[in-house]
A and B are shown apart, each in its own frame.
Chain A
Amino acid sequence: MATVTDVRTQERVSTGAAIWSWITTIDHKRIGVLYFVTSLIYFLVAGIEALLIRLQLATPDGEILDPDLYNQLFTMHGTAMVFMVAMPMAAAFFNFLIPLMIGARDVAFPRLNAFSYWTFLGGSLLMHSSFLFGQAPDGGWFGYANLTSKEYSPGLSIDFWGLGLLVLGVASVAAALNFIITIINLRAPGMTLMRMPVFVWMTFVTSFLIIFAFPAITAALIFLEFDRLFGTNFYEVAEGGDPMLWQHLFWVFGHPEVYILVLPGFGIASEILPTFSRKPIFGYSAMVFAAVAIGFLGFSVWAHHMFTTGMGTIADAAFAGSTMLIAIPTGIKMFNWVATCFGGRIRLTTPMLFALGFLTTFLIGGLTGPMLAAVPLDLHFQDSYFVVGHFHYVLFGGLILALMGGVYYWYPKITGRMMSEKIGKVHFWLMFMSMNLTFFPMHFVGLDGMPRRVSTYAADMGWEGWNMFISISAFGIGLSVLVFLHNLVVSYKKGEPAGNDPWDARTLEWAIPSPPPEHNFDEIPQVTHRDQVWYDKYGEGHGSAAELSKVDTSVAEHAEEDEEHDVHMPNPSYWPLLVSAGLTIAAAGLLIHILVAIFGVAWTIVAIYAWSLEPASDPPNEH
């Protein structure tokens, strides 16, 4: 089995050719790796920003950061963590796994997929380039009007933010559309919707949330940039405009966004827990329907972020009620995960530890959620460190821990080598302990009145003890990330060869070599059960170990005849990169000079034509 003679060895041909092959790649697996590496870098950047913030807050009257810089750091920390870490890291998993899990050779639109990645890169670089000009965005990740108006935020900082986010939005929507079509249309024969792994379902729901939530922030950002660049009046109070418009549009996007962030975490945990409990997921259909319900309800709760804006009792009550409703499907999921483990033969591997860590911390974050949804309580909590504690429990606990578990779980599939379990356990315990020690006390200082987004506090407030404690713990998180990086790098060279199926796992990706060949499946698998690979290994007398049941003749009639001999993979292309570059130049042009913007648009148009005229694959009829 070609386990370790992998992509790496083949690609040592020449660095130039290797780099070119990555630039023009449209292979979903490679694009997944690109997403992962890029988002990991942003994770380090945004993490360092967080540590700087904590350094400043460790002591009262801190003088490490001046208020301006402090504003820039928390804004870029939040914005980057949400749009350049959490979303793209989830996208890395979507990319690598979705085609493998549903038994496809690639996504539905491989070139569009490359375009999504490059556009994400362009938008994120555009926003981060603001640091070079000392004008990093400083209006918070929510960018409330009219703090973001030209009057209160002169300079370019908010424009970097707004235009960067617009570009990132294009990337997200394009990627989400791609995954929707892939999941609808590229499932292997027999892979019915209700046989799909839960991770695939979560991706599906997330993608729908993205395509319906992002247009709202796109409109809001366009209004913002029109106000700032062309002097329109959308958020101009003197002209009758209403800053509340921004808040509504932003949170109509923003609340679905938190599910966009966390559902991938749900999906990963739902793959890890059954494998290491040696039981199928408990209540599969309840799991699926709960996620769909969360997706729908997620669009009806946005104003729970606006209780302190004076919307009136009726609106407050309605949004409090709809928010509490979401606790029901979320609770269903919690119970199902617990029930999956219950009575199972649990193996406490590193991925399993992370999944269990996810379960516990997400539970705590989930419990402070309804507290915040209770209007009288929220009036007290709003804009305090309690909120910071709450959302880090759900984001760090619900997403980052799950993603870490996902890395340990699928690293063998991606690289062909195992990550070190020993280092992995150190990583887990250090990260898990430190994150709880960092974020739990934030609830205390928050209840005590410590505001968020304020660069310092006075010595007589009585907060210095906890703050010092929080800051020290935060560096514990930093240390755990270093341990993780160490493990990633060392295991890549020295890890044990993984083989096809090191975890004795359930889903289709484990039946093919690690790393998977470029075309994924020699023969498209035929699916008859949920947890197909378990079924093939153990099910109903089918003893032939780890082998997928092959396409039987009746199905082969539908498949193309030449498929078994040589698989047509689409050609590499650099046009996706060039379209992305054009878009980024157009956006950057609005910061520099309108002519540059026009140049960018023209570039984009030319590249789009070239893209659509380029044949996607060689004409297949010449055999």
Chain B
Amino acid sequence: MFDSLQDRLGSILNGLTGRGALSEKDVSAALREVRRALLEADVALEVVREFTERVRAKAVGAEVLKSIKPGQMVVKIVHDELIETLGSEGVSIDLNAPAPVTLMMVGLQGSGKTTTTGKIAKRLKDKQRKKVLMASLDTRRPAAQEQLKVLGEQTQVDTLPIIAGQGPVEIAVRAEQAARLGGYDVVILDTAGRTHIDEPLMVEMANIKVRTKPHEILLVADSLTGQDAVNLARSFDERVGVTGIVLTRVDGDGRGGAALSMRAVTGKPIKLIGVGEKMDALEDFHPSRIADRILGMGDIVSLVEKAAENIDAEKAAAMAKKMQAGKFDLNDLADQIRQMQTMGGMGGMMGLMPGMGKMKDQMASAGLDDKMLKRQLAIIGSMTPKERSQPDILKHSRKKRIAAGSGTNSAEINKLLKMHRQMADLMKTMGKKGKGGMMKQMMGGLAGKMGMGGLGGGMPGGMGGMPDLSKMDPKQIEAMAKAMQQGGGAPGMPNMPPGIGGPGGLPGLPGSGGGVPGLPGLPGKKK
């Protein structure tokens, strides 16, 4: 789906190696791709336009260093400019005012205001030892006030008692009084979500501001927002003057272009990001991580986190034991496939990896898609427990039954069995060699088997080796996709988990029980 910008620029600018400086023409060609990459990442068009003009000004005539390619040079300039636009990190919530300091949360419906209110309160209480009072002014959405109350109980932060029938402004005023009388350091006002073209509600919001004079007004916005991000950010900012932005759902797999859009049109800092549903899933904002995502550089950090999150420690340990015993049955294979599937299937994983964009397309065109995963699971699912643990007993009549049950045919079943056999053999060999470097061997081994020499070299070294993929020539990738499809007669996909496998194969791999540290050779983020 998304090629990394580097991939794209590579194909446009690779011919330019050796020239001294970037010409106007080179830059223009590159900027077309930059534009597209930004738009695919949901950066608003008007922001893209300004941004590319700024890049143009910096790039034309820029010296291309000897050791790097012009494409990389442009990516670097774009990257630096992105980070600069996104703003510096570590702008925290400002509490530098007489107590009680009022924070007001505003935003569209469903953007995450209430959850964020709870998170900020908890953070201030735990990390800054502040006495915090939360008040919900959302009298419109059913049970919204109740929701904040429950969050208060969970985080042990006080909430303003609910009085039925009061309007938002009244509640806000009451919260202020309660905070003053109760000796609170901070009072957080959680307002109802509103559409910025809903005039009466925008007026209401402005009234709340006038009556409570908040020290901080935080715009809470979904990082998955599309082009509308500029409209909403501008409207809220014009109306009440936001002092900062909190981006939510950054733990999703969106490219996060809305961050750039909102920052660019308001000039207001992104203060915090929400990275999960738990009350402690709130982090400081790091422009470089978002910049990498927007550029489709593959956020290695989030890839690793994702893999770690998906590793079921118990299963991994059980798998390790089985492997040592040389046992890898169809249940295990099904586990692997399922892990892969739930991690977002082929698409989800590939999208996160740098340089995988092209390969994804190749694989899709070779029919190596998520449907195949589903069919493979259906086949295994139609087997009896005994058949799954002892695939050897699968003879003709059983295969016929399984084919009927899973809506497949015996050729597909045979392919699956063959692939399983190969994997099981490999596991057996590795089981004997002990734990150390098992994953490396497995990957290398499978890659070799599947004729994936190039990949085998890149992957087993850990994910840090992956960016090499982006330099692979398309023919190689094509050959690889082919190899995977036919590779030793094995059908493509399910080779993926262990093979290409970093991601798909990680879950359940021995030694990975502890999560990330178990990934051999993983050098963390590498640029």
Whether both chains belong to one complex is answered with: no
Residues of chain A whose beta carbon lies under 8 Å from any beta carbon of chain B: none
